[in-house]
A = this chain, B = another copy of it.
Amino acid sequence: MAAGKTAWDRLGAHLQETQVMDSITRTLYWDQNTRMPSGGAAWRGEQLALLARQLHARQSSERYAELIAEARQEWRIRCQGVDGPDVSGQARNLDLLEQDLRRQQALDPDLVSALATAKSQGYDLWQQARSASDFPLFAPALRRMVGLRQEQARQLAEPRSCWETLAQPFEPDLTLQRLQELFAPLRSRLPALLEQLKGSPRPTSLSWDLPSSTQQQLCDQLLIDWGRDKAITCVAASPHPFSITLGPRDFRITTRVVAGQPLSCFLATAHEWGHSLYEQGLPTSSHQWFAWPLGQATSMAVHESQSLFWENRVARSQPFSELWWERFAAAGAPLTSSADLWKAMNPMAPGCNRVEADELSYGLHILVRTDLELALLEGGLPVEDLPGEWNRRYQELLGVTPADDAQGCLQDVHWSEGLFGYFPSYLLGHLISAQLSEAMQTAIGSPEEHVRRGDLSVMLGWLRENVHPIGRALNAEQLVEQVSGRSLSSAPFLNYLEAKLERLFSASA
């Protein structure tokens, strides 16, 4: 097969150019979040809208449809008389491309363009509204975004509800029924655990802080320890930490320093680096590379399971604090033992902020958001009622009320960009991380033991063998089942959490 000769190769060349365009969009997004002055927002919106139009035209074009059809035809001929499963995954690639094509072709180009513009404007207004804690300033943009996303779901016309349809890009094949089934034990158990902790000696916030430059040095040290290759990675600051891949050898993360929260930047670094490690471990050859579906992350929940693994199972573990507390003390943190650091890493005290939340209350933040976005998209909740509903549910589930909307319903960027159906992935990520960690423990021993020995390479090797290279060959639940031998459930997460709480409180006693 000479390059460019087969239908398969022609399709591959087309997909590569699509990825080039898509990665340009991501580069603009990166710049928007890390460097762009606020005055650049309107023009950036024009740039992103133009690329979105071009990308949509390309991904819904007749030419593209023909390329897929020709590759499918070629594949059928090659497989004639050959029975058996799709070992190479090439048929799966074609299935996923056909699904994506159907979705792109279902959308009106005007809607695609309007969504791109609304995303930029929404992001810009959200930034202004958050810094002024002025929800009414953001409300019209959110209302418009809800309307556009509902229209998108209508145009996609899938046999799914509006919310389910919008959640597909993040969690392929997820149904609302399955989500509620997975979340049900958390809805009852998490508030109960929180209740048990009442009256326990818990710090509501740390009484110390570290200078920004010191925090950055600790973060740099963490990434050196964790094997960061500077030739292919970049770290910057942004209002909201994220991880993004701009090319096959260009992986980036952002973090931020939060005043009064000396571990926030450190844990965000661990978290975003976990995302990046997954991306860095995706398959990179032939039909499984960057440009093809099988070379891409399978779901946001699996992505989150990887970031949470490094944040919670590694950085927040007891042995990690044993290894690191003296470094923190030398940097100026008032710690007298590893237990001090470990407890500071695991406050187990509900607050109003999702990103800063501990493992116990994190799920509650997601349950609030999941309920609210369902209400906005399918339940008729008026946008102007969002702050009130937000605060009511926070009081109910977490027992706290935000001081203002900046710390309440304006804290997250997601809805400003129309990312509905995304938040549940964060909590599913906790479940997946726990279940994969159990499987890892069975195979190579507990993560805690590896951390204690200060050797992370065996764990990373296991992930690089069992999780990262799967790409989109399996969806999230199939991946969990293949690796753990069981269906996904909330049991491993709840078991892990209860054991951790017990150890934390016996350490505090």
Residues of A near any B CB (own CB < 8 A)? 16-17, 20-21, 23-24, 27-28, 30-31, 34-40, 42-44, 46-47, 50-51, 229-234, 236, 246-252
Pair A230/B24 contact, Cβ less than 8 Å:
no
Instruction: Select which of B43, B234, B252 is within 8 A of A23 by beta carbon.
Output: B43
Which chain B residue has the least Cβ–Cβ distance from A21? B50
Pair A250/B36 contact, Cβ less than 8 Å:
yes
Known interface pairs A23-B43, A27-B27. Does A50 touch B233 (Cβ–Cβ under 8 Å)? no
A147 to B206, CA, bound (A): 64
Instruction: Select which of B17, B35, B47, B246 is within 8 A of A50 by beta carbon.
Output: B17
Pair A47/B20 contact, Cβ less than 8 Å:
yes
Pair B249/A40 contact, Cβ less than 8 Å:
yes
**Chain B: minimal CB distance from A455 (Å):** 26
Pair A35/B247 contact, Cβ less than 8 Å:
no
A-B contact pairs, 21 of them (CB 8 A): A17-B50, A20-B43, A24-B51, A27-B27, A27-B28, A30-B35, A31-B31, A35-B234, A35-B236, A36-B234, A37-B230, A37-B249, A37-B251, A38-B231, A39-B232, A39-B247, A39-B249, A39-B250, A40-B247, A40-B249, A43-B248
Instruction: Select which of B30, B230, B249 is within 8 A of A42 by beta carbon.
Output: B249
Neighbouring B residues of A38 by C-beta, 8 Å: 231
A30 to B40, CA, bound (A): 14
Known interface pairs A30-B31, A31-B31. Does A247 touch B50 (Cβ–Cβ under 8 Å)? no
The A contact surface, by secondary structure, is helix
Pair A23/B36 contact, Cβ less than 8 Å:
no
Task: For the complex of A and B, list the 4 residue pairs with the smallest distance between their C-beta atoms, beginning with the closest.
Answer: A43-B247, A40-B250, A39-B249, A39-B232
A24 to B54, CA, bound (A): 13
Known interface pairs A36-B234, A37-B232, A249-B39. Does A47 touch B24 (Cβ–Cβ under 8 Å)? yes
Instruction: Select which of B39, B46, B248 is within 8 A of A231 by beta carbon.
Output: B39
**Chain B: minimal CB distance from A23 (Å):** 6
Known interface pairs A20-B47, A40-B250; 11 further A-B residue pairs with C-beta atoms within 8 A, sorted by A's residue number: A16-B46, A21-B50, A23-B47, A34-B35, A36-B250, A37-B231, A37-B249, A37-B251, A39-B247, A40-B249, A44-B250
From A23, A24, A236, A248, residue with most partner B Cβ within 10 Å: A24
**Chain B: minimal CB distance from A52 (Å):** 12
**Chain B: minimal CB distance from A399 (Å):** 40
Neighbouring B residues of A31 by C-beta, 8 Å: 27, 30-31
**Chain B: minimal CB distance from A470 (Å):** 23
Neighbouring B residues of A50 by C-beta, 8 Å: 17, 20-21, 24
**Chain B: minimal CB distance from A245 (Å):** 10
From A36, A233, A247, residue with most partner B Cβ within 10 Å: A247
Neighbouring B residues of A16 by C-beta, 8 Å: 46
**Chain B: minimal CB distance from A347 (Å):** 33
A36 to B250, CA, bound (A): 7
A231 to B38, CA, bound (A): 5
Neighbouring B residues of A34 by C-beta, 8 Å: 35
A46 to B249, CA, bound (A): 13
Which chain B residue has the least Cβ–Cβ distance from A213? B213
Instruction: Select which of B21, B30, B234, B250 is within 8 A of A43 by beta carbon.
Output: B250
Instruction: Select which of B20, B24, B30, B232 is within 8 A of A24 by beta carbon.
Output: B24
Which chain B residue has the least Cβ–Cβ distance from A247? B43
Neighbouring B residues of A43 by C-beta, 8 Å: 20, 23, 246-250
Instruction: Select which of B44, B233, B234, B251 is within 8 A of A247 by beta carbon.
Output: B44
Pair B234/A37 contact, Cβ less than 8 Å:
yes
Which chain B residue has the least Cβ–Cβ distance from A248? B43
Neighbouring B residues of A247 by C-beta, 8 Å: 39-40, 42-44, 47
A17 to B249, CA, bound (A): 30
From A23, A39, A234, residue with most partner B Cβ within 10 Å: A39
Neighbouring B residues of A44 by C-beta, 8 Å: 247, 250
Which chain B residue has the least Cβ–Cβ distance from A35? B234
Pair A232/B40 contact, Cβ less than 8 Å:
yes
Pair A246/B20 contact, Cβ less than 8 Å:
no
